[in-house]
Amino acid sequence: MKGLSSPLQEFFKKGDVLLLLLCLFASGYGILLIFSATRSSQNDREVIIQCIAVLLGVLIYILLTFVDFQLFVEKNWKWLFAFGVVFILLLLTPFGKTIGGNRNWLSFPFLPVNIQPNEVVKIPFILLLSLQITKIQQDGRDISSFPALIQMGGFTAFMLGLIAGICGDMGMCVVYSFIFIVTMWSAGVKVRWFVLGISAIVIGFLVVWFLILPNTEAWDSLYLVKRFRVLFDHNYDPQGIGFQQTRSILAIGSGQIFGKGFLQGNMTQSAYESTLPARDTDFIFAVCGEEFGMVGCLLLLLILSLIILRCMWVSRHANSPFYSYVSMGMAGMLIVQIAANVGMCLFVFPVMGLTLPFISYGGSSIVTLYAAMGIVSSAKARTLPSWLRDRNHPSY
């Protein structure tokens, strides 16, 4: 016991205990919602798996707090890059499994749950991108120069191409892209590049939407086109492409201010999956809205917002640019997934298959999130005291 208490004491002394408590609070809220969402099936499998994933995640969080990731990534960046690529390529093997139209899952016979490589690889992606930026700045090169942007953008484009080509997961491509944007912003890339990039994306989208796609025979049958069309016209195919979001918005609206009460939601407790589809994963926010109302939804968003703000606080107080960029990358990952999931449930964003961090059911997602926050805790464990901080540090 003495040997075990020493590392724990060290963790409580240097690790980010506050961040861990916030994550546990969010996970507890999520398990409560998952229990309600799966109660009609009379099967506690999802709740048990989620609890085990949280316990495993906490252990990983504590262990990763003691790892110096800057030193680790500098020495092993080639292996880290290879791991990310190979892990995604495994989806092309017989272990790859297609769910919901995307080849996103690995199913191993020796594991009771499926693994989503795209979730796991977000961590190596953030670490490698942060290392790239750090090395460019250490070499004295301008981070806003065209060659530097090509180098960083090339790495990101490669990962996006890999995910889009193998998985066809546009939602995850959005997540990786937003992580890139947030990390670039925190590194000090000039505003003009963001303006040019966003302008190019908007113009490209408008050209494709209004000039190219309407001239193709498959315009009306394209799945992605339908996902966007239904956002502007909720009456467009409400029993088909818009069915999930229609049910979600009905559930949230029926909860009103204070909700119908825990385990009292008509749609959440229905034995028919079609009443509220994917209620324990993609549309768990609708469960919260129906049973806990607007107050419960605001509480949920407050908890998640505090986790994001804590990551930003660690970024600001990091002892090196590397840890600053890593912490901001983790914050960006959470921001885009929360915004996309809640927007999807509120029928203002297209369905992208993105779960709500710490809340939705998913073993690999939960473990990955705690690992990501463990890296932020590692950054916090290495923060400098205020009298040693360099005010010229990029994070300031």
DSSP 337-385: HHHHHHHHHTTSS-------TTTS--HHHHHHHHHHHHHHHHHHHTPPP
Residues 6+ apart with CB under 8 A from 61: 20, 23, 370, 371, 373, 374, 377
Q: Domain extents for the chain?
A: 11-383
Amino acid identity, position 83: F
Going by C-alpha positions, the residue among 67, 54, 56, 55 that lies closest to residue 10 is 67
Contact 232, 238 (CB under 8 A): no
**pLDDT at position 13, please?**
86
Total H helices, total E strands in the chain: 13, 2
Q: How far apart are CA 25 and CA 29, in angstroms?
A: 6
d(CA 359, CA 37): 12
Query: What is the distance between the alpha carbons of residues 166 and 102, in angstroms, rounded to a whole number?
Result: 9
pLDDT, residue 96, reads 85
Task: Please report the DSSP string for 63-103 in residue order.
Answer: HHHT--HHHHHHHHHHHHHHHHHHHHHGGGSTTEEEETTEE
SS3 106: strand
pLDDT tens-place string over residues 230-277:
888 878 878 888 889 999 999 999 999 999 999 999 999 998 888 899
Please tell me the distance from the alpha carbon of residue 108 to that of residue 114, in angstroms, as a whole number: 7
Residue ranges of the chain whose pLDDT lies below 50 = 386-396
Q: How far apart are CA 327 and CA 72, in angstroms?
A: 16
pLDDT at 394: 45
- Reduced to 3 states, what is the DSSP secondary structure of residue 115? strand
SS (H, E, C) 231-277: HHCCCCCCCCCCHHHHHHHHHHHHHCCCCCCCCCCCCCCCCCHHHCC
3-class secondary structure, 104: strand
